[in-house]
Amino acid sequence: MENYVIAMTVSACIYALMALGLNVIWGLAGMINLGAVGFFAIGAYITALTTLKLGWPIAAGVVAGMAGAAMVGAGVALLTGRLRGDYLAIVTLGLAETIRVVASNAIWLTNGTDGISGIAGPMRGSLSPTQFNLLYLGVVGAIVAVAYVLAERLAHSPFGRVLRAIRDDEQVAAVAGKYVMGFKIRAFAIGAGALGLAGALYAHYTSYIAPDIFVPLLTLYIKLALLAGGLGNNRGALIGAFVVVFFLESTRFVIPLVPGLSAVQGAALREFLIALLLLVLLRYNPGGLVPERLPRIALPEPRSTLTEERRA
Amino acid sequence: MPPIFFEVAQLVVNGIMTGTILAVPAIGLTAIYAVLRFPNFAVASHATIGAFAGYVANVQLGLPVLPSVVLAFLAAGVVGMAADELVLKPYRAAGFITTAIASIALTIALENLVRFGFGNELRGYDLPLLRDWRFAGIRVGPQQLQNLAIAVAAMAALFAFLAFTRTGKAMRAVADNPMLAAIKGINADVVARLVSFVGMGLAGLGGMLIGLDTTIDPLTGFRAILSVFAAAVVGGLGSIPGAVIGALTVGVGEELCLLFLSPDYRSAVGFTAILLVLTLRPRGILGQRAF
């Protein structure tokens, strides 16, 4: 039981990291990313392959996974930067699907749908499962704490302000002399990097990855976390991730209690409820549990009558 | 003639077949985009719904393929119109990002309703087994030819509808300039409902045509969505003739890649096509004129 609770807390932390990353892309910069799971998969596969096949240390593999996801993210943003966001939606979704297709079929590299097993975890061999879980919880918790502080600093820095300006009105930001494209690329790369980091941490925790894990539903979970917690603010992202994991796990226990459902029907009902919840939150709860708070700046009193006239 | 010639010719013929079928849902997607201005990812679940509606008609009710195809169109169209009116419409005011995300959630919800009713197993339509025909060394299946004919007939009907009927012209007017259309007294809500019906109906028809070639399961639509979007983007998102050209390009491209790639990578070809077009000619082959 305690192992289960620890494991769920670890996965909530991994979700929280993803939510923080997606928050930079979606919440701050207002860019769409329908393929969050793709960047998660990139991080997971890069670290699994570099540590297993090239014998890199775990930390190096994790950093490589994060960097790889960030680079792909920058490329995606660069490619679609000048176009309407529709194309970014299509490309990100397509990227996630293509990664899954390639991972399922490049058997020489990824072992196909059988997946990669035996990914090293820090000191997994010399600890009991509970000790390992606790150690990993400590590591992931520390990383999430650092990521949260960084995300907060980012959100309140001039950089974060420009991102919010781009989100609210791209043209105004451009007129104010901001190079919108550059900001978008950096925001997307930072967010994708966090998603990749989460994927890498996931791979070393479970020691097994396969294409089936990286389904589009995972992207919905993260969106759900952000919407539940409050889009555009980092505390909301953290809270939302825990709320979503709690919700997902409780449906796992509640649905089998419904009489007369087969296993497939139960799974279908669960996914249906998740999609429904996302639709409901998207429509009725735009603020989330912790709505985004923007610092209020007192406007200076108008000095001349000229501005008064203009306002009238 | 060298054997490679026949191999390439066979692949091109296959590509035209798959491309023509692909064009049907791609037109549905692009028409919805032209009028409602958001990429509707729910095309995936509506293709699945059409495929299963056709399955119910064909296998469970024992109808022949042609009436089943019509039922697939109608069922997906009605669901599409209802889903747009009841679910997606309120999100449109919040911008296309919210609407696109809502359409993804909608597609997963609908797909799981189908899964709830039918389970995950692969199903096939009740089709007569026919020997392939050979023309000058090139194989063509009679069923494939029938699918091709259905797809071409559906597209011809759509083009005639858009070109000659008052309602079709109203749809094009809204796609071209919504404000001007409103001034001329065209009811945008009615057009939105109509385009959702026709667009999702075509998605359902396309889903059944894809299923006639292979098998169906709740993921039928989602597996095809990358190729469908690739077709629409390659041709120019929002352009109906573009969707046809894009679908043929993607279909032939997917087949020709079999010369040096394993067939499992087929859907990666569509994605590569999207990346290529966005790099070289972002507006697609035909640009964004709706018709």
- Express each pLDDT in B203-261 by its tens digit: 999 999 999 988 999 999 998 999 999 999 999 888 999 999 999 999 999 999 888 88
pLDDT of res. A312: 44
- Segments of chain A scoring below 50 in pLDDT: 306-312
- Are B238 and B34 a contacting pair, CB within 8 Å? yes
For residue B289, is it within any domain? Answer: no
Chain B, window 162-191: residues with a beta carbon less than 8 angstroms from a chain A beta carbon: none
Rounded Cα distance between A282 and B69, Å, is 35
For residue B150, is it within any domain? Answer: yes
Tell me the pairing of strands A208-209 and B133-135: unpaired
Nearest CB partner across the interface for A268, out of B94, B96, B116: B116
Give A101's contacts in chain B (Cβ within 8 Å).
Answer: 264-265, 267-268
User: Two tokens at A211?
Assistant: 């294409």
Q: Is B52 on the interface with A (CB under 8 A)?
A: no
Chain centroid to CA A132: 25
For residue B287, is it within any domain? Answer: no
Q: Is B278 on the interface with A (CB under 8 A)?
A: yes
Identity of the amino acid at B208: M
Rounded Cα distance between B236 and A94, Å, is 17
Give A27's contacts in chain B (Cβ within 8 Å).
Answer: none
Boundaries of domain holding A167? 2-215
Grouping H, G, I as helix, E, B as strand and the rest as coil, residue B216 is strand
pLDDT of res. A19: 96
Rg (CA), chain B: 19
pTM for the whole structure: 0.89
For residue A244, is it within any domain? Answer: no
The DSSP 8-state label assigned to residue A232 in this structure reads: T
The domain spanning residue B189 has which CATH number? Answer: 1.10.3470
Helices B188-213 + B166-176 axis angle, to 10: 100
CB atoms within 10 A of CB A261: 15
Contacts of B240 by beta carbon, 8 Å cutoff, 6+ apart = B27, B30, B31, B34, B158, B159, B162, B290, B291
pLDDT of res. A61: 96
pLDDT of res. A127: 86
pLDDT of res. B280: 86
Among residues B37, B30, B27, which one has the least CA distance to residue B177?
B37
Q: What is the DSSP string of B109-152?
A: HHHHHHHHHH-SS-B-------PPEEETTEEE-HHHHHHHHHHH
**Contact call for B98 and A82, based on CB within 8 A:** no
* Number of domains chain A is built from: 1
Give B118's contacts in chain A (Cβ within 8 Å).
Answer: none
**Contact call for A283 and B102, based on CB within 8 A:** yes
**Contact call for A94 and B226, based on CB within 8 A:** yes
- Are A244 and A281 a contacting pair, CB within 8 Å? no
Rg (CA), chain A: 21
**Contact call for B112 and A262, based on CB within 8 A:** no
* Number of domains chain B is built from: 1
- Are B287 and B237 a contacting pair, CB within 8 Å? no
**Contact call for A282 and B105, based on CB within 8 A:** yes
For residue B124, is it within any domain? Answer: no
For residue A233, is it within any domain? Answer: no
| Interface with chain B: mutation pick from A279, A283, A284, A285, highest number of B CBs within 10 Å | A279
Rounded Cα distance between A39 and A96, Å, is 7
**Contact call for B271 and A223, based on CB within 8 A:** no
Rounded Cα distance between A196 and A192, Å, is 6
pLDDT in tens, A161-207: 999 999 999 899 999 999 999 999 999 999 999 999 999 999 999 99
For residue A127, is it within any domain? Answer: yes
For residue B130, is it within any domain? Answer: no
**Contact call for A32 and B278, based on CB within 8 A:** no
User: Two tokens at A188?
Assistant: 């997307």
- Are B57 and B68 a contacting pair, CB within 8 Å? yes
Indicate the Cα dihedral angle A104, A106, A108, A112, nearest 10°. Answer: 0
pLDDT of res. A309: 47
- Segments of chain B scoring below 70 in pLDDT: 1, 288-291
pLDDT of res. A219: 93
CB atoms within 10 A of CB A185: 19
For residue A250, is it within any domain? Answer: no
Helices B96-118 + B65-83 axis angle, to 10: 130
- Distance to chain B for A107, nearest Cα, Å: 11
For residue B10, is it within any domain? Answer: yes
Q: Is B53 on the interface with A (CB under 8 A)?
A: no
Among residues B169, B233, B228, B168, which one has the least CA distance to residue B202?
B228
Rounded Cα distance between A265 and A211, Å, is 22
∠ Cα A240 A244 A246 (to 5°): 120
Beta bridge partners of A209: A116
Rounded Cα distance between A156 and A193, Å, is 20
Chain B, window 196-235: residues with a beta carbon less than 8 angstroms from a chain A beta carbon: 222, 225-226, 229-230, 233
User: Two tokens at B276?
Assistant: 């290529």
Boundaries of domain holding B219? 3-118+137-280
Helices B188-213 + B65-83 axis angle, to 10: 140
Q: Is A92 on the interface with B (CB under 8 A)?
A: no
User: Two tokens at B277?
Assistant: 């077009």
Rounded Cα distance between B35 and B169, Å, is 12
